[in-house]
Amino acid sequence: MSRGAGVALGIRQIRYFNKAFWRNPASAFFTFIFPLMFLVIFTSLLGNGETQVGGRTVKDATYYVASMAAFSVITACYTNVAMGLAFQRDEGTLKRIRGTPIPPTAFLLARVAFSMLVALLLVTICATFGAALYGATIPSGATLLRFLAMLLAGAGSFAALGIAVTAIIPNADAAPPVVNATVLPLLFLSGIFIPIGDDAPGWITLIGKIFPVSHFLKGMSSAFLGTPFEWGDVLVVAIWGVAGLALAIRFFSWEPRS
């Protein structure tokens, strides 16, 4: 099959993922409504204080516009991909797909691309909301390009990690606990829900340096809050993505693990 035909097949597949996504109340709620709900809650509840980020003082409300945008991307790409694939694997959907002529990579890339599109939509909503109500800046020009580079690296990497983590999910019932256990502590330790100041304990700072979430958040924040942008953050996130991809290629299973 030519590459063009593979791409056409992938785009077609994205349309079916899209249809099924919006009709599934659980996925539409947890992936889509949930982060936006958090955004409203955090900005309303905690929006009046100020916080120090990257040498700047920003309103907490504005901070949460950036962090909830990052959270949306992680939910749509990591959590949703991992749980969705684990369920499909357990139900035998993936095994069935494997018996058809669609190239496996076209199917998985379509899944990744779809989650990135959902992430993009969520980030756009966060940005619009933040700019309208909380004085977040909407990136433009060079900032926009850098922001898009970070967004692309983050969405792609978290999706790759989402595929990779299915290897340690034994069955569909275990998907939510395993996925949440791998991501929730990291979200707290990386400043997604609670801003982490310079006076944070060393071990938390260290975890932030090692894992991709904090770097991703810094990249997203730079666009919305005007804090400094560092290509190093993009690099760390991308390295995690490549590692995730390698693990996914090595350990991904199309059949239920039993």
Partner 1 sequence: MSEPAIEVRGLEKSYGDVHAVRGIDLAVPRGEVFALLGPNGAGKTTTVEILEGYRTRTAGDVRVLGFDPARSERALKEQVGIVLQSTGVDPFLTVAETVDMYRGYYPRPRPRDEVIEVVGLQEKRDTRVRRLSGGQHRRLDVAVALAGDPDVLFLDEPTTGFDPNARRNAWDMVQNLQSLGKTVFLTTHYMDEAQVLADEVAVIVEGLIVARGTPDTLGGRDTATAIVRFRVDDGTLPDELARQVTFEQGMAEYRSEDPAAFLHALTGWALERGTGLDGLTVQRPTLEDVYLELTGEPVAEEL
Enumerate binding residues for partner 1 (CB under 8 A): 1, 9, 12-13, 16, 19-20, 23-24, 88, 90-93, 95-96, 98-103, 255
Please return the burial class of 48, using the count of CB atoms within 10 Å of its CB with bins 0-12, 13-18 and 19+.
exposed
Minimum CB distance to partner 1 smaller for 50 or for 255:
255
Shortest Cβ distance from residue 7 to partner 1 (Å)? 13
Minimum CB distance to partner 1 smaller for 2 or for 57:
2
Amino acid at 214: S
Shortest Cβ distance from residue 17 to partner 1 (Å)? 9
Minimum CB distance to partner 1 smaller for 95 or for 176:
95
195 contacts 58 by C-beta, under 8 angstroms: no
Minimum CB distance to partner 1 smaller for 28 or for 247:
28
Shortest Cβ distance from residue 12 to partner 1 (Å)? 5
Per the DSSP assignment, residues forming a β-bridge with 57 are 52
Minimum CB distance to partner 1 smaller for 88 or for 227:
88
Shortest Cβ distance from residue 87 to partner 1 (Å)? 8
Shortest Cβ distance from residue 98 to partner 1 (Å)? 7
